[in-house]
Structure 1
Amino acid sequence: MLHGARVAVVIPARDEARWIAEAVGAVPAFVDHVIVVDDASRDGTADLARAAGDERLEVVVHPACRGVGAAIVAGYRRARALGAAAVAVMAGDGQMDPRDLPRVVAPITSGEADYVKGDRLRHPDVWRVMPLQRLPPPPP
């Protein structure tokens, strides 16, 4: 909980076996629910997420690939059903720094904002730490 409000993190994932346990394990303690939405992974992502051993974790599995947007929506729906007042999305491959989560969620749980969006491309280390295939073209 943060500011007395239940918080959920949705982690959309497709074939993230390499990183999913680390992504789940990095979710801060103030988060009440961690929802991994496995979008028809073929590499055991769902089982590896469950094996992370986080009691806050719930895994939703799409039997057929529906895309990241549908995975996020499924996670939002489950978070709302669990009573979450604030829901954040973090990538299954650990691209987001979990230390940023309080700054993203606090304006919602405190009533200052209805929606907050982080911008990972503004982080000073993005060009060094983000996998090359995920990087946009450099600015002109």
Structure 2
Amino acid sequence: VDMTDVDRFAPDGVELPDAPLYLVTGVDRGGRMANRSPQEALPALAREGRSPLVLTEGIHWILQRPEVLERDRCFMTIGSRLRKPNGTPDARTPAIWISNGTGRDGRERREAPKVGWCWWGNRHTWLGFGSTTGRSLTG
């Protein structure tokens, strides 16, 4: 409910295999980078030889391994961005976390996984940066 334009967020600055299905390896939720902004984390990931996850990769990872998403140990997927009509990036970046069941989420969604957004320049102590060491068509 907080991100009605989620389908408009697309890979940005990330090279994906040219196939509908591919393998993402060395996936990490990036907790060591908590309390950095996406703007700060992106070059740090590159220095480590890592590529930021796109939103669909983060969702698929959680669907396959639900235990990856823990309260206060969630992650952003900064490989996805929304571009405005003039080509500049939107100030939001997608993130996946566990709902507190407040606000528009409603009490019935407390403890449920949530796709939301954070500001590109903001830091969060409880959000890491999902990343991968590689993407390929085969393992």
The TM-score, its normalising length taken from structure 1, stands at 0.25
- Decide which structure has greater strand share: 2
Larger relative contact order (Cα-Cα within 8 Å, sequence gap ≥ 6): 2
The TM-score, its normalising length taken from structure 2, stands at 0.25
